[in-house]
Amino acid sequence: MKISQKIINNLKSGGADFFLSVPCKLLANMITILENDKDIYYSAIPREEEGMGICAGAYLGNKLPCIMMQNTGIGNSVNSIVSLLQLYQMPVVFLISYRGTPGEPVGAQGGMASVTEDILNTLRIPMLQCNTEKDLDKISTFTNHAKVIESPVAILCNFNLMKED
Amino acid sequence: MNRFELLNLLQNTIQDELVICNIGLPSQELYKINDRPNYFYMLGSMGLASSIGLGLSLAVDKKIISIDGDGSVLMNMNTLATIGNRAPANYTLLIIDNGSYGSTGDQKTFTNERTSLKDVAIGSGCQNVIECSGEETNENLQKALVDTNNSYVIISKIKSGNVPIKPIPLNAVTIRDRFRKEIGLVNYL
């Protein structure tokens, strides 16, 4: 719970005030925290691509949105990232549980893990890799950076970091 | 009645509401009929008009209308479940259901066959789901806009068909900024 709480605190101090999630076991603690947080908007949603649309609308209404999802969700969302968020220059923070990284017990997650960073690089989305608790201190500045550059940014939290929470 | 005629008719009802308009011909026709800064034209991301409008309605108090199409809703059908569970009272989804993918050459959609978006919307938890003819759309939209306690899904059944039209000359950031100015978020235009 300590790591999840720290991530949420840093996202909020960076300005994020509108949260969506598509579930992941590694995000479960964060989802519990958000469900009980009265300062921000939070909802679960069925699919990541739809979430990109909802985030775009929330940004138009002056929110700084954050969507939490597995890295698989990036695969579901490529067109909406490029031809909505990037085309209109909309800041959205992707908080990604990086399934398939070392420690992962499910072998099938390795496939998307092996292409996730290549996809984000191809999309020219700034990435923050969180491998240790200390890395989480960078989340606040990185969240605000999305707003400054009017672009989506991606925060990748690897398996071993999250599973210890 | 086709989509162009319906969009023309809606100009009697839509005033300062914030409108998110579906990609392709719906946006191009709306732009040609009556361009306004409170119209957000989608230039990409087919399927997400309802979602963008929903996100906006959760962020501001003004009335929001998402103008969507049957083909686009079929592409993002989970949106109806999210709307059914989360749409606030300032949100109206207007689905222009002409049974065809107009922008790509009028290929038929499944609403031409066995699929009823009204039934899907109701089954997804949406309340105040109204299916009507093009001619009845204005009165139902007016009803939705004056109701401050409920969200609506209006499915307007019309004929397929398009008018010859050009792409919208505005770039995306211009559309974004003049739209946000309508909400009071941009002061440099």
Name residue A156's beta-bridge partners: A96, A129
Q: Does A88 touch chain B (CB under 8 A)?
A: yes
Closest-CA residue of chain A to B53: A57
Closest Cα of chain B to A62: distance in Å?
A: 7
B56 confidence band (pLDDT: 50, 70, 90): very high
Closest-CA residue of chain B to A81: B45
ipTM above 0.95 for this complex: yes
Percentage, residues of chain B above pLDDT 70: 100
* Average predicted confidence (pLDDT) for chain B: 97
Total domains present in chain A = 1
Contact A45 B82 (CB under 8 A): yes
Specify the DSSP element, H or E, that contains A76: helix A72-80
Among B6, B2, B38, B1, smallest CA distance to B21 is for B38
Interface size between A and B, measured as CB pairs under 8 A:
110
Contact A57 B176 (CB under 8 A): no
Q: What is the pLDDT of residue A110?
A: 95
Chain B residues whose beta carbon lies within 8 Å of the beta carbon of residue A80 = 45, 48
Domains, chain B, in order of start with CATH, read 3-182 (3.40.50.970)
Closest Cα of chain B to A53: distance in Å?
A: 5
CATH code of A148's domain: 3.40.50.970
Residue, of B163 and B144, whose pLDDT is higher: B144
Q: What is the pLDDT of residue A40?
A: 98
Reduced to 3 states (helix: H, G, I; strand: E, B; else coil), residue B96 is: strand
Contact B55 A57 (CB under 8 A): yes
Low-confidence ranges of chain A (pLDDT < 50): none
What tens digit of pLDDT does each residue of B135-162 get?
999 999 999 999 999 999 999 999 999 9
On the question of pLDDT at B189 being above 90, the answer is no
Closest Cα of chain A to B82: distance in Å?
A: 7
Q: Does A65 touch chain B (CB under 8 A)?
A: yes
State the average pLDDT over residues B3-32: 97
In one letter, which amino acid is A146? A
What tens digit of pLDDT does each residue of B71-111 get?
999 999 999 999 999 999 999 999 999 999 999 999 999 99
Q: What is the pLDDT of residue A73?
A: 98
Residues spanned by the domain of A128: 2-163
Chain A residues whose beta carbon lies within 8 Å of the beta carbon of residue B52 = 53-54, 56-57, 60, 84
Sequential DSSP letters for A103-164: T---GGGHHHHHHHHHHHHHTT--EEEE-SGGGGGGHHHHHHHHHHHTS-EEEEEEHHHHHT
Q: What is the pLDDT of residue B63?
A: 98
State the average pLDDT over residues B49-78: 98
Q: Does A35 touch chain B (CB under 8 A)?
A: no
How is residue A133 written in tokens? 């608790």
Q: What is the pLDDT of residue B130?
A: 98
On the question of pLDDT at B23 being above 90, the answer is yes
On the question of pLDDT at B188 being above 90, the answer is no
